[in-house]
Amino acid sequence: MGQTLISVQDVLDHGNLDNDSLRPRITSLLASVFAAAEEYCGRKFSSDTFTEYYDATGQNNILVENPPMTGLTSLTDDAQYSARSIDTSANVLWIDQYKRKGEVRLYKTEGGFSGGLAGVKVIYQGGWTATTMPADLKAAIMDEVLYRLDGRQVGVANQAADGASVNYNERNGFAAQVCDVLDGYRPWWREFG
């Protein structure tokens, strides 16, 4: 988990737990839940520098894998052959709307990418820090850790009156409510292409 987005203390506080003996187990669960959430979403959450290649012949935009973008280091068209560098300060629309969704959009004067297969290379900074991570995503990951820790109330479908048996709603390996939140952080465009 590159940069620490959620601490063990965050999980303890979220679960109203005051038991230091749980720290090693929470540390382990936090790492495994975080990795599983990133794998399910098909992206990294932690802020980092990413290098990605895209097929983008004729398009004037691409969507990066790990939004939001916090910086754009370089953009190369026809990366496999002529490697034409695009001036990102002059020829890329750099506005909040595009940064949030991870869209690299060229100005109209730039036209479109000529790239071809893996022809567009983009190097950018993306993801979140502990202070910029969306609250719903952070809460969902902590809920899943608590759910796996001791079967707390996240994902309870029904419970016997005496508490002896509990059934949980699960989907894709997560409590259903957690999976609902994670679905909002999956790159939707992958479903169509």
* pTM for the predicted model, two decimal places: 0.82
Domain range summary for the chain, segments of one domain joined by +: 8-45+130-192, 48-126
Q: Do residues 3 and 130 touch, judged by C-beta distance below 8 A? A: yes
Spatial separation of the C-alpha atoms in residues 179 and 193, rounded to whole Å: 22
Which amino acid makes up residue 77?
Answer: D
Q: What is the largest CA-CA distance in the chain?
A: 71
Instruction: For residue 57, give the nearest of 130, 129, 138, 112 by alpha carbon.
Output: 112
pLDDT at res. 44: 94
Element (H, E) at 24: helix 23-41
Instruction: For residue 30, give the nearest of 185, 147, 189, 169 by alpha carbon.
Output: 147
Tell me how far the alpha carbon of residue 59 is from its chain's centroid: 24
Q: What is the mean pLDDT of the chain?
A: 85
How many CB atoms neighbour CB 113 within 10 A?
26
pLDDT digits (tens, 9 = 90+) for 108-163: 777 788 867 888 999 999 999 999 999 999 999 999 999 898 765 545 555 556 65
Spatial separation of the C-alpha atoms in residues 37 and 161, rounded to whole Å: 33
Instruction: For residue 54, give the nearest of 65, 66, 46, 70 by alpha carbon.
Output: 65
Residue 187 per-residue DSSP state? -
pLDDT at res. 1: 44
